[in-house]
Structure 1
Amino acid sequence: MTFSVVARCAETGMFGVAVSSSSPAVAARCAYARAGVGAVASQNVTDPSLGIRALDLLALGADAGQAIEVLRASSRHMEFRQVLAVDAQGSTAIHSGPRALGIWAEARGVDVACGGNLLASPDVPQRMVEAFEASSGPLGDRLIAVMRAALAAGGEAGPVRSAGMKLVDKVSWPVADLRVDWSENCPVEGLAALWQLYKPQLADYVTRAIDPSAAPSYGVPGDE
């Protein structure tokens, strides 16, 4: 029901997750990231606690592979789960349980891991990794390119209805947390449009939190 990417920007240290699914509000359950620590996607008969636990393990010093191994050894029903992780060094790991739904697959590279279930083709995650490796620029742009590559490779076996992207950087909150929770049209393209709207303002919203006196006005009533 889902395909996703977790990634690290080697230049900035930013982490991101992007995910799409036929079910509603997929990013609310599946996307996890923590600045300076890593990014995780928990999906397929989703257990959101796995995303939180994986980030906690990374924060304690585990690398991505060690975090996934701890989850695999200590969590119930892992035969149903997919969990993807990238750590602060750019190493990656994936758990895909044998009872993941439909056609499921996974692929990894330095700074990037991709996986999915109920896919139209087992090639989808590899095409996603290749799209990340071929891309450049802001991490959000690269994640959108990855999600578009997933669709071009067939994506999910049925139409996707929701999508989301979370980015973390040097502050304790997500610097972008964009979601299309349900759409009769293409939610990945809806997410891309949201990103293009938000991207020029991202740094300014961080500045508003840290130093409001240095933040620009957007010209709305009362904002001078």
Structure 2
Amino acid sequence: MTYSLAGRCPETGQIGYAVATSSVCVGARVGTVTSECVIFSQARTDPRLHEVGLRAWPGAAGDAQTVVDAMCAAATAPHWRQLGVLPAEGAAAHHTGASCLSHCGAETGAHSLALGNFLGSDRVLGAMIERFEKAGGSLAERLLAGMRAGESAGSEKEPLQSAALVVMGAKNLRDVDLRVDFDADPLSAMGGLLADWLPKAAAYRVRALDPDNAPSSAEVESR
């Protein structure tokens, strides 16, 4: 009962994902990202499969299907699992088990991967990909735009309750890492968080990389 969107930006080198679901605290269960890939485990989620994917990645030589195969092999009852991998370069791969609730499946774009199950219509995934691929702005803004397009196209069959948005930037630092654990309109709440965070993100990056020249807390919060 989840839909998610992974995306990458060739211009900035960022890669990240957004996810929403009709249960609480989705950010604790669905999705992980490194500078090299996004990995999803959802539907009847087993978050431990993210670690399986991360362990398989180095030996996969960037082959996303090899990672998905390793996750399927490690999964208990893979027919209930929905898995996906979007690499920083190359083709995405995905698996939707036969027991995942309809509408369900995956779609890919030039730089994106959408997964979903228990969706309100069969148009959700295509709407997410189309909006992401055409949207402007930062990667985080494009991911959120894709999620909102999916919501407008049918969302889930149950009301959304939580969302998460994560973007990995240069030097293995997360440029965005936001969660809405419980809200009647989590994607709108996420939009508010993102609008507040983005003007401050660069300052916190400086704090990590060059603390001697980092702005003070008061300077950051005034942005």
Under TM normalisation by the shorter chain, which class is it?
Answer: over 0.9
Q: Which amino acid aligns with 1:57?
A: A
Return the offset for 1:105: 2.3
Match of 1:208 in 2: 207
SS at match of 1:146: helix
Count of aligned residue pairs for this structure pair:
218
Which residue in 2 is equivalent to 1:199?
Answer: 198
**Counterpart for residue 31 of structure 1:** 31
Supply the AA of the counterpart residue of 2:138. Answer: P
> Structure 1-normalised TM-score?
0.92
Question: Amino acid of the residue matched to residue 117 of structure 2?
Answer: N
Partner SS state of residue 216, structure 1: coil
Q: Which residue of 2 aligns with 1:113?
A: 113
* C-alpha contact (below 8 Å) 1:17/1:39 kept by paired residues: yes
Deviates more, 1:53-62 or 1:86-95: 53-62
8 Å contact from structure 2 (residues 18, 165) kept in 1: yes
Post-superposition offset of 1:137: 2.5
CA contact (8 A) 1:24 1:182 kept: yes
Does the CA contact (< 8 Å) of 1:58 and 1:87 recur in 2? no
Partner Cα separation in structure 2 for residue 59 and residue 155 of structure 1? 35
Name 1:174's counterpart in structure 2: 174
Contact kept? 1:14, 1:169, Cα under 8 Å: yes
Q: Name the amino acid aligned to 2:14.
A: M
1:150 aligns with 2:150: yes
Paired residue type of 1:114: A
Q: Report Cα offsets for 1:24-79 as digits up to 9, x if no partner.
A: 000111020012x1112210110112222223322342421221122223433111
**Residue type matched to 1:197 in 2?**
D
Q: Per the alignment, do residues 192 and 31 of structure 1 end up closer, same or farther by CA in structure 2, a change over 3 Å counting?
A: same
Conserved 8 A contact 1:6-1:84: no
In structure 1, runs of 5+ residues without a counterpart are none
Residue pair 1:92, 1:109 contacting (<8 A) in 2 also: no
Task: Among all aligned residue pairs of Structure 1 and Structure 2, give the percentage whose two residues are the same amino acid.
Answer: 34
Residue pair 1:33, 1:55 contacting (<8 A) in 2 also: no
Instruction: Give 1:41-190 correspondences, 5 Å limit.
Output: 41-60=40-59, 61-184=61-184, 186-190=185-189
Moved more, 72-81 or 7-16: 72-81
CA distance in 2, matches of 1:206, 1:131: 28
Give the unaligned 5+ runs of structure 2: none
Q: Which shows bigger deviation, 130-139 or 50-59? A: 50-59
Query: 1:10 and 1:83 mapped to 2: Cα distance?
Result: 23
Report the Cα distance in structure 2 between the residues aligned to 1:69 and 1:205, rounded to whole angstroms.
37
AA at the equivalent of 1:200: P
Where 2:174 maps in the other structure, the secondary structure is coil
Q: Please tell me the residue identity of whatever aligns with 2:67.
A: A
Structure 2 residue 19 is the aligned partner of structure 1 residue 19: yes
What is the RMSD computed on CA atoms of the aligned residues?
1.5
User: Within 2, Cα distance between the matches of 1:159 and 1:94?
Assistant: 25
- The alignment's TM-score, normalised by the length of structure 2, stands at 0.92
1:95-149 CA-to-partner distances (Å, cap 9, x unmatched) read 1001112321211122210011111012211111111111123100100100110
C-alpha deviation, 1:173, in angstroms: 4.2
